[in-house]
Amino acid sequence: MKSGIPPAKVSETVRDIVARTPIRDIHTHLYDPAFGPLLLWGIDELLTYHYLVAEAFRYFDMPYEKFWAAPKTQQADWIWDQLFIQRSPISESCRGVLTTLNRLALDVRKRDLPKLRAWFAKHTAADYTTRCMELAGVESICMTNSPFDDLERPVWKKGFTRDDRFEAALRIDPVLVDWKKTSKSLAAIGYKTSPTLNAKSIAEVRRFFEDWTKRMNARYVMVSLTPDFDFPADHDCARLIEQAVLPHCRDHGLPFALMLGVKRQVNPALRLAGDGVGRSDLQALQNLCAAYPENKFLVTVLSRENQHELCVLARKFRNLHVFGCWWFTNIPQVIDEMTRLRLELLGLSVTPQHSDARVLDQIIYKWDHSRQIIGQVLAEKYEQLAASGWQLSRSEIERDVKSLFGGEFNRFCGQCS
């Protein structure tokens, strides 16, 4: 190599590359603007994000039902008052709102919520999508698409012109989590399924996956499962994975994405904000990876205690790709720790982050905050390489960062075992 980066410039160069590299955001709850009101954005949506609802209820003394019965602007006013006015907004989700407003060049010093609302009211979803994606440096967004969602399903059925920045992922939780109930919903929309999982039901659920994979042009099939998920096992969930999901994924060359460790509805009164976390038994994942080498598994785990074990599993199975710092792990302290753990155990064969944004504007802060941490961790790693005599070039570092921000995910998804 002719001229490498001088050791004193390594950190600055790495952080600059991380700041500029476009990102493929591989899991969000955002929608192609063609879905109209399903794509959430703006100050009231930012403030009523369920992460903030959970935090505000630490201080509210009103009954849960009073909060839920109120209009969204009222809910946002209450949250703003408790989390931003009565005390300083230091939690990660609160700080995220401020980072977003700041990057949008809005002045929050006056704490004038009506004025902020008036600014957002001037935009349309289409122009605002481009603005947020540019500010976040995000080039593509993967949605979470559920054929069981009564608002989403008709849009797919009717058809629309796709915005090619938005990709689809087929979300199948109802099938795996509550087959007895879901078999009835499937029967109601023309699939000959029954609560007893017989051969006919399996064939029909595969036809359902087939139809929706094609309709959405889905990039992967996804589910989130509780900490007690076990496999193989004598229950409908395990049978459906074995006989329907995995053969479907193999036939279509699609990864199966597993998000493990959510304890559903620990406090149902909090609704979407009411889920918790538990440590998963990753033996189930080991069994899946070992028994199905021709399937690809994209995995993130919610419990901090599972992170090291997940990395070790990924060292053993090349059909396992680790991604993202999900939900309660998406806080600076844990992102830092998980990113180090992953890079030290798995090198560049991971996707360190996804945004999980539910509100478009959130991609700005989620990526801003994560880029800072990933940039810092990588800078240290490259400085260590430079200190051991390895010469670094800008183009090689650019190549590496590109792979962390989507390239490695693409390779994994496209590769045959």
Q: Which residues bind Zn ion (CB under 5 A)?
A: 356
Helix spans in 122-198 (H): 125-136, 153-158, 173-177, 179-188
Residues in the interface with ligand RAT (CB under 6 A) total: 7
* Residue 103 partner contact from ligand RAT, Zn ion, none using kind-dependent CB cut-offs of 5 to 8 Å: none
Nearer to ligand RAT, 356 or 408 (CB): 356
- Which whole-number Å values give the CA distances from 218 to 28, 173, 237, in the listed order? 14, 15, 21
Stretch (H or E) spanning 272 = none
CB of 174 to Zn ion, least distance (A): 15
Peptide bond into 71 cis (omega under 30): no
Q: How far is the CB of 224 from ligand RAT (least distance, A)?
A: 4
For ligand RAT, the closer of residues 246 and 260 by Cβ is: 260
Closest by CA to 170, choosing from 257, 238, 246, is 257
Contact 258, 302 (CB under 8 A): no
Total number of residues shown for the chain: 417
Nearer to ligand RAT, 125 or 302 (CB): 302
Q: Which is nearer to ligand RAT, 264 or 399 (CB)?
A: 264
For ligand RAT, the binding residues in 140-169 under the rule CB under 6 A are 144
Query: What's the min distance (Å) between Cβ of 343 and ligand RAT?
Result: 23
Pattern 312-331, ligand RAT, x by CB under 6 A: ---------------x----
Q: Contact with ligand RAT (CB under 6 A): which of 358, 376, 393, 398? A: 358
Nearest distance in Å: CB 50, ligand RAT: 6
CB 327 to ligand RAT: min, Å = 4
Burial of residue 205, with CB atoms counted within 10 A of its CB: 0-12 exposed, 13-18 middle, 19 or more buried:
buried
Note whether 412 binds ligand RAT by CB under 6 A.
no
Say if strands 297-301 and 320-322 run parallel, antiparallel, or are unpaired. Answer: parallel
The torsion region of residue 95 among left (phi > 0), alpha (psi -120 to 50) and beta comes to alpha
Given Zn ion, ligand RAT, none, residue 250, with its beta carbon under 5 to 8 Å by kind, binds none
Q: Shortest distance, CB of residue 354 to ligand RAT, whole angstroms? A: 9
Cα 68 from Cα 83, distance rounded (Å): 18
Would you give the binding string for ligand RAT spanning residues 25-54, x where CB under 6 A is met?
----x-------------------------
Residue among 256 and 327 whose Cβ is closer to ligand RAT: 327
Which of 237, 220, 209 minimizes the C-alpha distance to 147? 209
What is the distance between the alpha carbons of residues 22 and 92, in angstroms, rounded to a whole number?
A: 23
Tokens read off for 249? 């994924």
Of the candidates 13, 129, 224, 362, which one interacts with ligand RAT according to CB under 6 A? 224
Both tokens of 252, joined, read 């279509």
Q: How far is the CB of 144 from Zn ion (least distance, A)?
A: 6
Q: Give the one entry of Zn ion, ligand RAT, none that residue 224 binds, where binding means its C-beta sits below a cut-off of 5 to 8 angstroms depending on kind.
A: ligand RAT
Q: Say if CB 302 and CB 328 are below 8 A apart.
A: yes
370's CB contacts (< 8 A; 6+ apart) are 325, 330, 335, 352, 353, 355
Regarding 263 and contact with ligand RAT (CB under 6 A), the answer is no
Tokens of 41: 């954005």
Q: What is the largest CA-CA distance in the chain?
A: 68
**Is residue 303 close enough to count as binding ligand RAT by CB under 6 A?**
no
Q: Of 131, 116, 39, 119, give the one whose Cα is nearest residue 84.
A: 116
Could you tell me the smallest distance in angstroms from the CB atom of residue 269 to Zn ion? 21
CB of 227 to ligand RAT, least distance (A): 14
Rounded to whole angstroms, how far apart are CA atoms 388 and 266? Answer: 50
- Closest approach of Zn ion to the CB of residue 326, in Å: 7
Find the binder of ligand RAT among 30, 259, 288, 363 (CB under 6 A).
259
Beta-strand ranges (E) seen in 52-113 are: none
Residue 299: contacted member of Zn ion, ligand RAT, none (CB under 5 to 8 Å, by partner type): none
If contact means CB under 5 to 8 A according to the sort of partner, which of ligand RAT, Zn ion, none does residue 183 touch?
none
Tokens of 6: 């001088």
Applying CB under 6 A, the residues found at the interface with ligand RAT are 29, 144, 224, 259, 327, 356, 358
